[in-house]
Structure 1
Amino acid sequence: MNNERRRKLKLAEKGIWLSISAYILLSIGQIAVAELTHSEALRANGFNNLTDILGNIAILIGIRIARIPADDDHVYGHWKIESIASLISSFIMFLVGFEVLRETIMNFIANKNESIDPIGAWAGVISAIIMFFVYLYTRQLAKSTQSQALAASSKDNLADAVTSIGTAIAIVAASFNMAWLDHLVALIIGLFIIKTAYEIFRDSVFSLSDGFDESLIDTYKNEIEQLPKIKKVKMIRGRTYGSNIFLDVVVEMSPDLSVFESHEMTEKIEQLLQDKYEVYDTDVHVEPADLPEERHYASRSLELLSKEEKVLNRQKSQELLAENFQFIAENGRIYDKEAYKKLMPRENLALHHYEAQQVSKKTFLLEYRYTDGHSYQVSSIWRRNDNWYCIHRQETEIHD
């Protein structure tokens, strides 16, 4: 999965490069046109695009470093660099946003009102069209690559398209002797830059501080508990490294399961979360579930009853008899596993007076009677070693 994730991050770079190219073109064009048309709103929008260039460069660097394989100093890889790059991008946006606000407020206090050429509105309209098509491309690419950084950049593309439309409207209004509207839109754009910076800062800090969406935890928990043999999900902890999700899961399973069976279920949990929710890495810990003793004995007793019936009727001897199996017949003759397998199968004999006693966690003693012309008392010992095997049987004829 490492190689696949790195391949997707490399593909996500195409969207970042497209955004950078568009922002370079638009920022230069809008700032130049703003100087000619004296539009503060257009100038503010140009500086907004300028911050997007710097922010996307930081994200691009972060994505490239995040693709570096894990090493001795970074055993979980370099995925968090993606979040650090977003954090740096937010600081840049904060600085530029405050500068736009400062300049706008100073011009308003100084009552600096210059005539605005309405042709500047075309710069806003063209910018909006370009950024909307960039948004469509980066949004689709973000979905296919599952890149959170590119998804954030895509949302910024859409916001810039909307802001450019607002700028165009402000320029047209200001050309009709409503210069105050140009100041107002410039102020709104400055606040918008700061708002976007705060959202990126918030999400980056949330990821870097190992914050995680609680709704996802509930979704994972419900999904895991649908799997067979899982009694309960005791705990799930999640954290993100860049766009990758890492989970620590503690589940409770029946203490009667073998190590192999428990391990098999942990692999199924990992595969489920990876295939359905694209969880990058899952560490599963198994703890024994608390089972009522009555239910525990009853369940094991019924399971061994079925197996004992097959052994009694000399069926599936190869699967149910231990290698060191020993059978003592009513006449005192002793049979090993191979000798017992050669005995003729019998009709389905019925068990009665069946009792099961747990001698240890891995050993059960079964006692019962059956009738086959004569009545016999049977004592049978079963022991678990990955699976349950009969290790000893003894039959004694009952004389009335």
Structure 2
Amino acid sequence: MDDRASKSRGVTRVLLIEGSVNLLMSLVKLVIGLITQSSVILADALHSLTDLANNFIAIVAIRISHKPPDHTHPYGHQKFEYVAIFILAVLLSVVAFELVTYAIDNHGQVVEQSYTGLVILILAIVVNFALSRWEHSQAQKLQSKLLAADAQHTFSDVLTSVAVLIGWQLSALGYYWLDTVFCLLVAGFVGKLAWELFQQALPVLTDADVTAEQFSSAELKVILAEFPDIKNVTDIRSRAMGEQIICDLTLLINPQLSLTAAHELSHAFEDRLKQEFDLYDVIIHIEPA
């Protein structure tokens, strides 16, 4: 309980710091974009605003996901963390679509140069890069997949901002069509990130089987050799509840065993699986071999 509360506070602190930085970044980019009339900078400002929205969603989700199991969620609330990742992916998909629309509608618009804005945007890139590295280290320290996903998102912002900077400078030299091209590139970056986050969240939210990722047949046979009265294991299924894995299976056991002995055997096998594969829960069905 204390570990969950401590982890929740740590993740929330990181998200609050990142949210403050994202608010500052979005305002800076918005001002520079309005001054220079660069669609690619305005697009990046919109991207930063979605980062801010995601920080708010993530803070709410992380507080819920670290609550202990209760009568409405007996398996815990860990999936709320992946709900937040899914919402982030949806938001990014909408942003990617809006960026494509904005780039097409503003094709050929005159772009102004601003050396002050150039310096500020470079500083913003440096700050975002430092933030992404720090958030990544905090994700490893706190063992948070939500923070890891967000750190990946923040690093993509750095790559996006570099593309924005290049597109803006080339457009300011008179190649106005490049502003549209780089705005579309930004949309591509955002869309790719959305797809990666969908791939991360959907298997957990849809209870995809993760047995192959947890243990192989060879590893299972080694453990079975320790239990002569277990003749085989069938119907193995596993699913992720956030960072915790729940497995259910059927044991074919020696039919000569008493009910008490069979019960004790299943518990011993369950404990062995939990110890070896770091499983949160194992549900066992017993049948005579």
TM over 0.5: yes
| Residue matched to 1:342 | none
Paired residue secondary structure (2:70): coil
Task: Give yes or no for the alignment of 1:96 onto 2:95.
Answer: yes
Q: 2:245 matched to which residue of 1?
A: 245
Q: CA deviation at 1:72?
A: 1.5
2:273 corresponds in structure 1 to 269
Larger RCO, structures 1/2 (Cα 8 Å, 6+ apart): 2
Of 206-215 and 43-52, deviating more is: 206-215
Cα deviation for residue 248 of structure 1 reads: 1.8
> Take 2:277 and 2:148, find their aligned partners in 1: how far apart are those partners?
22
Distance in 1, matches of 2:102 and 2:197, equals 24
Q: How many pairs does the alignment contain?
A: 281
**1:54 to partner: Cα distance:** 0.7
Aligned to 1:14: 13
Asked if the contact 1:122–1:168 (Cα under 8 Å) also holds between the matched residues in 2, the reply is: no
Q: Per the alignment, in what secondary structure is the counterpart of residue 247 of structure 1?
A: strand
Mapped contact 1:39–1:116 kept (Cα < 8 A): no
Matched, 1:225 2:229: no
User: Matched residues, percent identical?
Assistant: 26
Q: How far has the Cα of 1:29 moved from its partner?
A: 0.9
Distance 1:143 1:283, change over 3 A: farther
Partner of 2:114: 117
Matched to 2:190, the amino acid is: I
* CA–CA separation in structure 2 for the residues paired with 1:174 and 1:118: 14
Partners of 1:262 and 1:93 in 2: CA distance: 46
Shift of 1:102: 1.4
Q: Distance in 2 between matches of 1:46 and 1:172?
A: 17
Counterpart of 1:225, as a letter, is: K
Distance 1:41 1:158 in 2: 18
Q: For 2:249 and 2:2, how far apart are their aligned partners in 1?
A: 24
Aligned pairs for 1:1-400 (under 5 A) are 3-108=2-107, 111-213=108-210, 215-217=212-214, 219=215, 221-227=217-223, 228-229=226-227, 231-255=231-255, 258-259=261-262, 260-274=264-278, 279-288=279-288, 290=289
Check the 8 A contact 1:231/1:253 in 2, yes or no: yes
Name the SS for the 2:248 alignment partner: strand
* Pairwise CA distance, 1:233: 3.5
Larger strand percent: 1
Give ranges in structure 1 of 5+ residues lacking alignment: 291-400
1:42·1:124 contact (CA, 8 Å) conserved in 2? Answer: no
The whole-number CA distance in structure 2 between the counterparts of 1:287 and 1:55 is 48
d(CA) in 2 for partners of 1:71 and 1:11?
A: 23
Equivalent position SS for 2:140: helix
Are the structure 2 counterparts of residues 201 and 262 from structure 1 closer, same or farther at C-alpha, using a change threshold of 3 Å? closer
Q: How much does 1:57 deviate?
A: 1.3
Write the distance in 2 (CA, Å) between the matches of 1:74 and 1:252: 31
Mapped to 2, the partners of 1:138 and 1:252 lie a distance apart of 47
The residue type paired with residue 19 of structure 2 is I
Amino acid at match of 2:158: A
Change (3 A) 1:97 1:244: same
Indicate how the Cα distance of structure 1 residues 106 and 202 shifts in structure 2: closer, same or farther if over 3 A, else same: same
- 1:278-316 deviation line (CA, Å, top 9, x unaligned): x3333344444x4xxxxxxxxxxxxxxxxxxxxxxxxxx
Distance change (3 Å), C-alpha of 1:223 and 1:123: farther
The AA in structure 1 aligned to 2:95 is V
* Residues 30 and 42, structure 1, Cα contact 8 Å, conserved in 2: yes
Indicate conservation of the 8 Å contact 1:251/1:285, yes or no. yes
The Cα RMSD (Å) is 2.5
AA aligned to 2:151 is S
Task: Give the whole-Å Cα distance in 2 for the aligned partners of 1:244 and 1:116.
Answer: 52
Cα deviation for residue 106 of structure 1 reads: 0.4
Q: Any idea what the Cα deviations from partners look like across 1:192-216, whole Å, max 9, x if unmatched?
A: 2233233323433332111144541
Alpha carbons of 1:188 and 1:58: their partners in 2 closer, same or farther (altered >3 Å)?
Answer: same
Deviation readout 1:238-295 (Å, 9 max, x if unpaired): 2222333222233445556633344223212122222xxxx3333344444x4xxxxx
CA contact (8 A) 1:41 1:170 kept: yes
Q: Which runs of 4+ in 1 moved over 6 A?
A: none
SS of equivalent residue, structure 1 residue 225: helix
Change beyond 3 A, Cα 1:88–1:151 = same
Instruction: Give the Cα–Cα distance (whole angstroms) in 1 for the partners of residues 34 and 188 of structure 2.
Output: 22
TM-superposed CA distance for 1:51, in Å, is 0.6
Give the superposition deviation at 1:58: 0.9
Based on CA coordinates, which of the two structures has the bigger radius of gyration?
1
Q: 1:48 to 1:126 in 2, by over 3 A?
A: same
- Tell me the distance in 2 between the aligned counterparts of 1:42 and 1:159: 15
> Tell me, which stretches of 5 or more residues in structure 2 are unaligned?
none
More deviation, 113-122/125-134: 113-122
Q: Deviations over 1:122-161 (max 9, x none)?
A: 3332222112211212212222333221111011011111
